[in-house]
A and B are shown apart, each in its own frame.
Chain A
Amino acid sequence: MRKMKFLSLGLSALMAITMIGCGESAPAGTTTGGGGGGTAAATESGGGSGGETANTPDYIRNDLGPSSFFIQDTKIELSDAEKQKIIADHTDANGKTFVTIALVDDPGSLCAYGSGASKVRSVLLPIVYQPLFARDKLGMKEPAPVIGESWEYVGENPNGGFDWTVKIKENVYDSAGNHITAEDVVFSIWEIGVGKYNAQLGSWCTNMEVVDEYTFKATMTVDGFMTLDVRLLSGNNYVFSKAAYEASPDGMITSPVGTGPYVLTKWETGSTLTFEKNENAWWVAANDMTISREMQNVDKINFKVIKDSAQRTIALEAGEIDYLTSVEETDLVQFQDPAKFTIADSLASQRDTLYFNASEKGNISDVRVRQAICYAIDNEAIILGAVNSGVLCYTVGPTTASAYNKKWETEDYYNYNPDKARELLKEAGIKDGELTVVIMTENAPAYNTRVAEIIQGYLEEVGVKAELKPVDGALFSEYKYDPTSSDIIIATTGGNADYLAPSYCSNDYRTKGETTGLTHLDNPEWTDLQERAMVAGDGSQLVEDCHYYIKDNVYGYALFSATLHTVVTPVITEVRLLTGFEVPGANKYLWNE
C-alpha cells in the first residue's frame, strides 16, 4: 500500500514536471507580468501611460506597423540545395506548388453571406469572392476598384433616402465563366445578402435596383460618401453570379463560385479545405489587377482545421503547416531558431476597450467616477501583464484611419494617476470601499480575463471593489445590452479600420430607439452629434468632437492594441496580412524569386 502511495506521488510529480516543460516559459528578453493583481505589474512598468517618453519600455511596440495592411520580408539565408528541397517539399505530384495553413475552426459555410466561424470566413471568403471596391494600403482615402468601377451621387430622393449609382466593370467573369452584370450584383448583395441572410447593409440601405447592364442604384439611409463606402462599397459585400447561385444545390454553402483568385476544390468538413488557383481569373486576362489580394503566388492552398492553439503551435513546429498568425507570446520561445522560423510582428487591428454603463440609474452614472476609474488604471502595466507587448491607445477609434489625429497622443488620456482617482471619487462622494463595480468580459480572447484581473487590482488600490464576470460569447451577446448586468464591459473592438466616425457612432455608443448600445446612454445631444458626424464624415470637426465627447464623458476608454505575432517558415519570403488575416495568395514564396 505504501509502495502505491509513493508511486502515486511520483506520478503526480512527473506529470507536473512535464506540464511545466510544455512551453509555459516566457521568451527570452521579455518580462512576464502575470495575470493577477495590478500592483506588481505597475511596479515593473514604472507606471505612467500616455505619450511616448524617452524611456519607452521595450514591450511598448511603437515601432510596429498595423496588421491591417502588413507586409514583411521574411527571407532566411538558404543554400540553393536547401531552397530546392523546400520547393520540392511544397510541390505536389502534378507539379503544383502548395502552402499549408492552420484554421482555428471550420468555416461552416462558404456562402458569401450568413454566419459561421467569422474569423475563419474572414480568411477564406476573400480567396473565393471579390467585393466591389477595397483598400489594401494604409491611408487610402478612397477605395480601389475591384469589380466596381466608379460611383456617383444622384441626390436625395422624395422618400428621404440618398441615391447613388455604382458602375461595375464590363469584363468580370467568375471561375465558372459566368459574366457578372449589375443584375448579379443586386442579386448577390441585396436579394441574398440582405434578403436571405439579414446582412448588416440592410440597416443602412433601403433599396438596390438595376439601372442598366453595368450600373445599379443604391438608396442609403444616411447622407455622405463615408456611409456608402463603409457599408456598401468596401464592406464585405461579395458579388457572385445569379446563375452560379441558382445552379448550386445548397446555396453555395459548400460549393462556392466566385470571381476571386482561388477555387474550392476539396472540403472535408471540420478537417481540411483545399483551394486551387482560379485559371479563369478575369483580371489576369484583362491585365487589371488593382489589389494585392488578387495575387496568385501559389497554385494550391491547403487549410487544416486545428482548433487547439497548442496543437497549432506543434503543427508549425513539426512542419505540418507553413505559417501561423496570432501565436501566443508564451509560445514564441519555440520559434527562436532563425534558420527555421521568422517571427513577423504587427499590431492587432483591434483595441481592448472599456465600455462604461453611463445610464442614469447605473452605479457609475457620475462622470467623475468613470474618470476616476480610468485614472486608476496603468495601461502600460496592463499591456505587460496581459499580453506582454502592444501599444497604448488614445481614442476608441482605429489608429489606421487617415483622419486619426496624432495630436491626441500628446494629450492627457487619463494617464495613470491614482491620487487623482482618489480625489475624483472623494468629489463624487464615494467613500473608500463603498463602491463595487461589476466588470463583464467576454472570455475570448483569453487575455481579456487577465486584463479584468489587473484592473480589479488597480481599482482596489483606490478603494473601489470590482467583481469580475467573465462570460462566453453567447452570454456576452445577450448580457451586453442589459444595463443591470454590469458597470463596465471589457471588449476587443475591431470594425472598420479606415474611418473614425463609424467607431464613434457605432451601436456601442449609440442611442437609437430601444437600442442603447453597450453604454446604455440616454443623451439626445450626443445622439444628435453622432448623426451629424456620420453625415459629415471623417476629416470634419464633428468627428473630432465625437472623440472628445466620448473621452470627456468617459463613455468608452481604449486601453491598448496587442502585438500580433506571425511565425513563418522559410518557404515564405514575404508575408502579407490584411486586416490581421492571412492572404496566402499574396505572400511571396521561394518559387516566386
Chain B
Amino acid sequence: MGRYIRNRLLWMIPVLIGVAVMIFSIMYFVPGDPAAIILGKEAEEWEILALRQEMGLEDPFLVQLGRFLWNALHLNFGESYFTGIPVIQEIAMRMPRTTLLGFLSMFFTMLVGVPLGIYAATHRGQLGDSAVMALALFGVSFPAFWMALMLVLVFSLRLHWLPATGIGSWKHYVLPVLASTISGVGTQARLARSSMLEVIRSDYITTARSKGLKEREVIYKHALPNALLPILTSAGARLAHIFGGSTVIETVFSIPGIGTYMINAVNNRDYPIVRASVLVLAILFSLVMLLVDLAYAFVDPRIKARYAGAK
C-alpha cells in the first residue's frame, strides 16, 4: 500500500509539470497586457514597453517559462503584479475558506444524497422512490447561482435569519454550503440509486436473501460496499467540480476564496496569481483523486489486495 501511495505521489510530478507548462503557455498567448493595465489609460507606449521589460515580459517564451518553472520548484510563485503581495501568502489565506466550503458541501452532499439514493433504490417504483427522484431532479435542474440567489432572498432578505454576504461566523457559511449542496444531492441520489439497483439485481444478493438474511443486512452489509465504488469515483469528481466552480458561489456570497482570487487575476492578466492558483488546484485535485483511490481499498478487499501486491 505504501509503495502504491509513493508511486502515485511520484506520478503527480509529471502531471504538475504538464499543468504548469500548459497554464503558463495559455496565459502567455492570451491577449491583454498587464503592463498596460497597471499603468492605466494615460500611459504612453514607451512607458508600457519599459514596464514590460522591467517585469520580464519582453523576454523570450522559453526564458520566461524556464524562470517560472524554476521558481515554482522553489515554491516561489512571485508577487501579484498589481498589489505586490506574495501570491503564496494570499493563497494560504484564501485556501482554507475554499476548502472548508468544498468539504462541507461534499460532506452534506454525501450525507443526504447517498441515503436518499439507497432509499429510492430499495423502494423502487413506490411513492418514496418517485418523491426522491423528483427532489433529485429539482436539485439537478437548478443552477447553483440561481439557487444561491433564491436562498439569499428567502433567508436573508425576507426572514433575516442568515447573512447574505461575507465571512465571519458559521452563519456566513450556511447559505453557500446549502446552495452548493442542493445540486450535488440530486446528482448523488440519482447515482446512488442506479448503482444500488444494479447491485441489488446481482446474483449474490439473491443468494444472500435466499439464505434468509435480514433485508437490512443484505442492503448495508452486502450490497452497499459494492454500490459505493462508482459513488466514490463520482464524489472525487464532484469535489473537484466544487473547487473548480467555487468562483460562482464565492462571487455570489462575497467569500474571499481562491475562486474569486483567480477570476479577478484572469481579468487583470495577473499571471503569477493565475498560474499559482491553477497549480494549487491541480495539486488539490490530484490529492483528492489519490484519496478516492485509497478509499476504494477500504470498501473493496479485492482492490486492497491489488494495491498490496503492486510493485
- Residue numbers of A with Cβ under 8 A of B are 3-4, 7-8, 11-12, 15, 18-19, 22, 105-106, 108-109, 111, 114-116, 118, 198, 200, 203, 250-251, 253-254, 268-272, 304-308, 310-311, 314-315, 317-318, 320, 472-475, 477-479, 481, 506-508, 512-515
Could you list 6 A-B pairs, sorted by A, with CB under 8 Å?
A: A115-B37, A116-B83, A253-B85, A270-B94, A474-B32, A478-B32
A-contacting residues, B13-53, CB 8 Å:
31-34, 36-47, 51
Partner of A270, one of B38, B47, B261: B261
Partner of B166, one of A15, A272, A317, A506: A272
Separation of A269 and B90 alpha carbons in the complex (Å): 8
Complex interface: chain B residues within 8 A of A473 (CB): 37, 267-268
Q: Mark B72-90, 1 if CB is under 8 A from A, else 0.
A: 0000000011111100001
Contacts A115-B81, A478-B32, A478-B33 hold; do A307 and B260 have CB atoms under 8 A apart? yes
Contacts A200-B40, A514-B45 hold; do A22 and B149 have CB atoms under 8 A apart? yes
Contacts A19-B146, A473-B267 hold; do A311 and B82 have CB atoms under 8 A apart? no
Partner of A269, one of B153, B168, B256: B256
Separation of A105 and B269 alpha carbons in the complex (Å): 16
Residue of B nearest to A271 (CB): B256
A-contacting residues, B133-155, CB 8 Å:
133-134, 137-138, 141-142, 146, 149-150, 152-153
Complex interface: chain A residues within 8 A of B93 (CB): 269
Contact B31 A11 (CB under 8 A): no
Contact A115 B251 (CB under 8 A): no
Q: Does B164 contact A (CB under 8 A)?
A: yes
10 tightest Cβ-Cβ pairs between the two chains A and B: A270-B256, A474-B32, A108-B83, A477-B36, A109-B83, A115-B82, A515-B44, A115-B38, A306-B254, A271-B256
Closest approach, in angstroms, between the C-beta of B146 and any C-beta of chain A? 6
A-contacting residues, B228-261, CB 8 Å:
251-257, 260-261
Q: Mark B46-76, 1 if CB is under 8 A from A, else 0.
A: 1100010000000000000000000000000
Q: Does B99 contact A (CB under 8 A)?
A: no
Contact A271 B137 (CB under 8 A): no
Contact B160 A477 (CB under 8 A): no
Complex interface: chain A residues within 8 A of B94 (CB): 269-270
Residue of B nearest to A502 (CB): B42
Q: Mark B251-280, 1 if CB is under 8 A from A, else 0.
A: 111111100110010011100000000000
Contact A478 B82 (CB under 8 A): no
Contacts A314-B153, A318-B164, A474-B267 hold; do A115 and B44 have CB atoms under 8 A apart? no
Partner of A515, one of B33, B45, B133, B164: B45
Contact A310 B256 (CB under 8 A): no
Residue of A nearest to B133 (CB): A4
Partner of A8, one of B44, B90, B137: B137
Complex interface: chain A residues within 8 A of B153 (CB): 22, 314
Separation of A478 and B29 alpha carbons in the complex (Å): 13
A-contacting residues, B280-305, CB 8 Å:
none
Complex interface: chain A residues within 8 A of B165 (CB): 304, 306, 311, 314-315, 320
Contacts A305-B256, A314-B156 hold; do A118 and B40 have CB atoms under 8 A apart? yes
Contact B82 A477 (CB under 8 A): no
Contact A109 B85 (CB under 8 A): yes
Separation of A320 and B269 alpha carbons in the complex (Å): 32
Closest approach, in angstroms, between the C-beta of B93 and any C-beta of chain A? 6
Contact B252 A308 (CB under 8 A): yes
Contact A472 B82 (CB under 8 A): no
Q: Does B163 contact A (CB under 8 A)?
A: yes
Q: Does B206 contact A (CB under 8 A)?
A: no
Separation of A271 and B251 alpha carbons in the complex (Å): 11
Separation of A544 and B141 alpha carbons in the complex (Å): 61
Residue of B nearest to A4 (CB): B137
Residue of A nearest to B269 (CB): A474
Q: Does B9 contact A (CB under 8 A)?
A: no
Q: Does B130 contact A (CB under 8 A)?
A: yes
Complex interface: chain B residues within 8 A of A481 (CB): 45
The winner among B40, B45, B164, B168 for most chain A CB atoms within 10 A is B164
Separation of A155 and B270 alpha carbons in the complex (Å): 43
Contact B256 A250 (CB under 8 A): no
Separation of A332 and B150 alpha carbons in the complex (Å): 19
Closest approach, in angstroms, between the C-beta of A94 and any C-beta of chain B? 18
